[in-house]
Amino acid sequence: MTGLVAAVRLDVLTVRPYARQLLLVVAAVAWIALMSGPPTAVVASGSVFAALVAAYPFAIGDKHDLDTLRAVLPVARGTHVRARYAGSLALYVVALAVCVALALGTSVARHTPPALGELGTVVAVGYALYALLVGLQLPVYYALGYTRGRMVAYLPLVVLSAAVAGSAAVLGDRAPDLDAWLTTRPASLVPALLVGGTALLVLSCAVSLRLDARRAAQQR
């Protein structure tokens, strides 16, 4: 556990000099969330933010060759991999708390506060979205590195965004009301989304451990 905490702390120290860039991402995501309106969009923005920031340790590590530093530290490589997932999850929890507060604030200001069941479903959807984006993204970085893998890693987010925008443009007023659909299925959706998202993260971490070990063996 001490090694895991130390590895998470190293990632935090690695990213801290780039805090101003992160604040710009926070501002952009918050603006999009506030302009979007529905609680689903606001909470989903936290998932996108966490997925984007998950790439920062990889980008900075490639730029400054921090893999060489990690190789000589008294912490196993596998611990560093698990720390990346733990740090990303912790960041998502913080982003989720902020986005839920924004969703509640905007809903109350518009006199349409969401029901507790609706909010729980939206949070579960946001968690599943985060797990999908990060679960697909991190193994790519461990396999290819940030510089070579960033275009592939961002592909799921690009495809998802294009699909949402395209369906909205094509269907127009005929597009299904996602918020209304979610509120009618809280009991059945929440456990499935939480379990599915967690399973995806665990599987992704296991794949990343193998890919990182293989990459380390190739570098020897």
The answer on pLDDT for 12 being more than 60 is yes
Model pLDDT, residue 197: 95
Question: Measured between alpha carbons, how far is 118 from 114 in angstroms, rounded to an integer?
Answer: 6
The answer on pLDDT for 108 being more than 90 is no
Place of tokens 């690695």: 14
Question: Measured between alpha carbons, how far is 15 from 79 in angstroms, rounded to an integer?
Answer: 18
Model pLDDT, residue 95: 84
Q: Which of 20-24, 62-66, 172-176, 197-201 has the lowest mean pLDDT?
A: 172-176
Answer for the pair 16, 43: CB distance below 8 angstroms, yes or no.
no
The answer on pLDDT for 189 being more than 90 is no
Model pLDDT, residue 210: 95
The answer on pLDDT for 1 being more than 60 is no
Question: Measured between alpha carbons, how far is 102 from 34 in angstroms, rounded to an integer?
Answer: 7
Quote the tokens at residue 65. 């060759």
104, amino acid identity? L
* 189 CB neighbour count, 10 Å cutoff: 17
Place of tokens 């193998």: 210
**What number is the average pLDDT over the span 67-71?**
75
Q: Which of 9-18, 72-81, 183-192 has the lowest mean pLDDT?
A: 183-192
Model pLDDT, residue 61: 85
Model pLDDT, residue 119: 76
SS3 letters across the chain: CHHHHHHHHHHHHHHHHHHHHHHHHHHHHHHHHHHHCCHHHHHHHHHHHHHHHCCHHHHHHHHHCHHHHHHHCCCCHHHHHHHHHHHHHHHHHHHHHHHHHHHHHHHHHCCCCCCHHHHHHHHHHHHHHHHHHHHHHHHHHHHHCHHHHHHHHCHHHHHHHHHHHHHHHHHHHHCCCHHHHHHCCHHHHHHHHHHHHHHHHHHHHHHHHHHHHHHHHHHC
The answer on pLDDT for 127 being more than 80 is yes
Model pLDDT, residue 158: 75
Model pLDDT, residue 138: 95
Tens digit of each residue's pLDDT (9 = 90 or more) over 38-64: 666 777 777 888 888 888 889 888 887
Higher pLDDT, 219 or 33: 219
Handedness of CA 32, 38, 39, 45 (dihedral sign): negative
Q: pLDDT confidence of 131, banded at 50, 70, 90?
A: very high
Q: Which of 13-22, 46-55, 75-84, 163-172 has the lowest mean pLDDT?
A: 163-172
Q: pLDDT confidence of 115, banded at 50, 70, 90?
A: low
Higher pLDDT, 167 or 155: 155
Chain mean pLDDT for the chain: 80
Question: Measured between alpha carbons, how far is 133 from 122 in angstroms, rounded to an integer?
Answer: 17
**Hey, what long-range contacts does 22-26 have (CB within 8 A, 24 or more apart)?**
22/53, 22/56, 25/49, 25/52, 25/53
